[in-house]
Amino acid sequence: MHLKLDTRNLPVAKAHPLTSWHGGHIIPGKGTRDLRIGQSMTDVELILGNPNEKRSLVDHFFYVYKSPGIDVDFGCSQWVKRLFFYDVNVEGHTNRAPVALDGIGFRTPKTKVINMLGKPQCEGGPVRVANRKKTWIYYDSGLQFDFDSRDRVIIISVCDPKLNRPAEEC
């Protein structure tokens, strides 16, 4: 074999593991500083790594990240339409998403959310999900909060309000 074609002695590039996502402040209608509505699937994978699950439901395609507590909804495209941030042990997520919004985080009481953000444009529930009841509120800024049976935040979702309405009908 010609020496210039012999690749056995070349150093092997090692894959660098992704550092864990550190989360951040939620920007209504946008996401966070680095995980945002409108990003591509590739962008999401560069930030969060490979998803634990890829799930299709009717006209939505999701990446599910159990450890950082995040689901990413791509709708029927390859671009982020909605971000779901979960509290620990909600819908199979093993950790709480490291996000907050001006003093509102997971387990914040519904009354405090409404006191801080005002009257929501839509609200619904209670609906039965798995073995628990939950309610939800939606703001035209693109924020939706889901509450457990004790009216404490368990899911925060972010969407572009011009492109999306709440997950459930008002």
pLDDT tens across 52-95, in order? Answer: 999 888 888 899 999 899 999 998 888 999 999 999 999 889 99
Q: How far is CA 136 from the centre of its chain?
A: 16
* 170 is a domain residue: no
Q: Can you give the pLDDT at residue 62? A: 92
Which of 58-62, 93-97, 121-125, 166-170 is the least confident region?
A: 166-170
Number of domains in the chain: 1
Q: Can you give the pLDDT at residue 65? A: 94
* 107 is a domain residue: yes
* 10 is a domain residue: no
Q: Can you give the pLDDT at residue 1? A: 46
Helix H or strand E encompassing 78: none
* 3 is a domain residue: no
Whether the model clears a pTM of 0.85, i.e. scores above it, the answer is no
CA separation for the pair 168, 170 (Å, rounded): 6
Helix (H, G, I), strand (E, B) or coil at 156: strand
Q: Can you give the pLDDT at residue 8? A: 46
* 123 is a domain residue: yes
Range of the domain at 132: 23-159
Write down the mean pLDDT value for the chain: 83
State yes or no: pLDDT of 116 exceeds 50.
yes
Range list of β-strands (E), 60-169: 60-65, 70-73, 82-86, 99-100, 122-129, 132-139, 143-147, 153-159
Beta bridge partners of 60: 57
* 16 is a domain residue: no
Helix (H, G, I), strand (E, B) or coil at 115: helix
Round the CA-based radius of gyration of the chain to a whole number and report it: 19
